[in-house]
Amino acid sequence: MTNDAHDASSNTPQASCKIGAGPHAAAGPAGKHPAPPCTLVIFGAGGDLTKRLLTPSLYNLTVDGLLDDGMQIIGVNHGERETKAWVDDLGQSLQQFAADKKSKVDDKAWQWLSSRMEYMAGEFEADDVFEALKQRIDKTSHGNAIFYLAVGARFFRPIVERLGKAGLLKEDKEREGNFRRLVIEKPFGTDLASARDLPAHILQFADESQVYRIDHFLGKDTVQSILAVRFANAMFEPIWRREYIDSVQITASETLGVEGRGKFYEQTGAFRDMVPNHLFQLLAMVALEPPNSFDAEAVRDKKAELFAAIEPLKRDDVVFGQYEKGGAGVGYREEPDVARDSITETYAAARVFIDNWRWAGVPFYLRTGKRMTTRRTEIAVQLKRVPFLMFRDTPVEALTPNVFTLRIDPAHGTRFDFNVKVPGPTMQIGAVRSAFNYNDFFEEHANVGYETLLYDCMLGDETLFQRADSIESGWCAVEGVLHPEGGPLPVHGYAAGSSGPAEADALLARDGHAWRSLQDAE
């Protein structure tokens, strides 16, 4: 995450599949420069992640002029295949991606990128594959390499081990700026024990500074802007504390079901999939202490402090749910590759407390679920109610609470709910809403969310990547829910297309709170 200053005009982002002047027509967006040359090795080159996210992101970086002419991409995957067939397949997917966005691929940009792509067939656990990679990378003038593990978690350990044994993770100290980096997709473990075991294994072959644990939520501009909203505006930070804030709600709801990922979901569930990583990352962005700078370690140190202060969750802090057949489609148990008696949760709500001076006593309510009434990712910060005594003679039963909402997806912006006097001769209070939408001020930035993460990895900027100690603290906070005393937590049914199970409403009602309605207009 760069710390460049931009004015409104120079900060205009590029569209996802922009028709433009082609690669390297300019030095890239204002304040940015091309990343250093490197070889990007993608393990899992034939997978969905490479097609849907990595290739469009690399293309967008090409259009923006942010890739060096020395860039090379090697795709490693099972099965023999010609490079041309692999590249053509990715090109067709990119064309479809552009069509879905009502755009068109810049042929010159795609030609520049695709000419630097090479396919290598091989098993992820075969030593000869890594020897061949070493020969290719050693032949480059720069010797820089990034190894992207776009594979299932079961391959993390064997790939890292073979990279290390082949010497591919060793940086050449005699080459100025030489780097070897390792990018790992979640899951970073499935519980506390595995979250400790995986880093211990990786650190046998690489330094922590070489490991980039990627969370695509942090690639969203609207997530990164949380820090700017908090720390670049004097109106927010003075009241961003327990003396003024009543509660915080973090929502990540989806209208889709598991969409053919039944096998994965049966092993994972909504809680493991979303809470210790994505939702905790949003919690960290909204709750961390101000860092001295946006230097990577300054920000990550504050995140680590925050995660370490999360109180361990207990049984009565969490509600699990599973969608059932309703107006919005089939139930979870009717999905392909799902057991007919499955007790896997597709919805999870949690009440989280942070035991530090800023947030002690303030509940953070987290919820995520599939097949819900609305697709929405947002953070709602509710301020404490003002004294009502002076308004006792006005025709209002209660004042509308002030709520500041950071809208992340699909709407991008902020919203503030507050009270004003209704025009007329008497003191009558009415609730109003003020909203800011990014699209009203900036050109729409239709990217896939990986562009910033890939670019930062090439630059060596670790700000948006997770550190091992933070990951361990996150799993530590939820260990009592994953392995609870008294047996597994109950899983409550909710109708597909609804706002979740009634038990989740009761979780907040115990504290005198209620979920923000998912039916409200954006």
Give per-residue pLDDT as tens, 174-209: 788 899 999 998 888 889 999 999 999 999 999 999
| Residue whose entry in the numeric block shows the structure tokens 């097609």 | 51
Domain-ending residue, one of 185, 210, 240 = 185
30 part of a folded domain: no
515 part of a folded domain: no
DSSP single-letter state for residue 151: S
Closest by CA position to 360, among listed 512, 245, 248, 242: 242
Whole-model pTM: value is 0.89
- Asked whether residue 380 falls in the same domain as residue 288, the answer is yes
1 part of a folded domain: no
- Asked whether residue 230 falls in the same domain as residue 155, the answer is no
Q: Count Cβ atoms below 10 Å from residue 430 Cβ, excluding itself.
A: 11
Model pLDDT, residue 398: 64
Closest by CA position to 214, among listed 189, 187, 192: 187
CATH code for the domain of 410? 3.30.360.10
For the chain, the C-alpha Rg in angstroms (whole number) is 24
- Asked whether residue 267 falls in the same domain as residue 157, the answer is no
Torsions phi, psi of 133, nearest 5?
A: -60, -40
Q: What is the mean pLDDT of the chain?
A: 89
Q: DSSP string spanning 372-412? A: BS--EEEEEEEEPPPP-GGGTTSS-SSPPPPEEEEEEESS-
- Asked whether residue 494 falls in the same domain as residue 360, the answer is yes
CATH code for the domain of 169? 3.40.50.720
Facing residues of 245 across strands?
A: 383
Range of the domain at 359: 219-387+404-417+435-452+467-509
95 part of a folded domain: yes
- Asked whether residue 167 falls in the same domain as residue 287, the answer is no
27 part of a folded domain: no
Torsions phi, psi of 438, nearest 5?
A: -55, -40
Model pLDDT, residue 447: 77
Write out the two tokens for 253.
């709801």
- Asked whether residue 168 falls in the same domain as residue 224, the answer is no
Residue 446: pLDDT band with limits 50, 70, 90: low
- Asked whether residue 375 falls in the same domain as residue 478, the answer is yes
The total domain count for the chain is 2
C-alpha to C-alpha distance for 266 and 166, rounded to whole angstroms: 36
Q: Is the per-residue pLDDT at 14 higher than 70?
A: no
C-alpha to C-alpha distance for 227 and 225, rounded to whole angstroms: 5
256 part of a folded domain: yes
- Asked whether residue 103 falls in the same domain as residue 147, the answer is yes
Residue numbers annotated as active site: 278
79 part of a folded domain: yes
440 part of a folded domain: yes
Model pLDDT, residue 2: 45
- SS3 labels along 171-201: CCCCCCCCCEEEEEECCCCCCHHHHHHHHHH
Model pLDDT, residue 177: 82
Residue 388: pLDDT band with limits 50, 70, 90: low
Closest by CA position to 79, among listed 51, 112, 45: 45
